[in-house]
Amino acid sequence: MNQDRSEIIILETARLILRQFHYADLETLGVILRHREVMRYSLSGPKSRLETREFIQRCLTTYQAQRYGIWAVVLKPARTLIGYSGLIPQMINGRREMEIGYRLAFEQWGNGYATEAASAVRDYALKTLQLPRVISIIEPANTRSWHVAEKIGMTYEQDSVFGGKDVRIYALNR
């Protein structure tokens, strides 16, 4: 099977599949990660095609070394790529934390997909990986992400600074 098209499914929900990225995702993911509104709260802003390819490469490298990563979020049954979600190790406030992150195509906002994907990632982190806690690092103006964090059981913990930006830390302990 072509390595770029193999599908390694990590998690599945009622409406979504979370699978490993492959290079065949480059064009679709590139459109998502170039969108200004989608990338509004990203530390690096909209991504070029090269940056998107490098992002996919980092994901592939992580898959080889870890049992976690950032995975493609795909709609069932059409297998349409709509973004990503996963676990991202972060250093914040002098502690190594595992962040639940997600980013979805603008057209898919408001459908509950971020909550559905983040819930699956939360369960994987706490039940399968047995992590003691997970966090989300959210800019104060990003109220949509506050709501996702709260819907998956996280609570506001504290204000902090991350990547030179003021952020709110939401957390859930096992």
pLDDT in tens, 115-169: 999 999 999 999 999 999 999 999 999 999 999 999 999 999 999 999 999 999 9
6 band by pLDDT with thresholds 50, 70 and 90? low
Q: What CATH class has 9-132? A: alpha beta
pLDDT at 43: 85
Contact 98, 87 (CB under 8 A): yes
Domain extents in the chain = 9-132
What pTM did the predictor assign? 0.93
| SS3 state at 19 | strand
Core vs surface per residue 46-73: b (16+ CB within 10 A) or e: ebeeeebeebbeebeebbeeeebbbbbb
Q: Which residues contact 113 (CB under 8 A, 6 or more apart)?
A: 15, 16, 73, 75, 82, 83, 104
With the C-alpha atoms ordered 31, 23, 89, 120, is the resulting torsion angle positive or negative?
positive
Tens of pLDDT, residues 46-87: 999 999 999 999 999 999 999 999 999 999 989 999 999 999
Question: What's the CA gap between 146 and 144, in Å, rounded?
Answer: 5
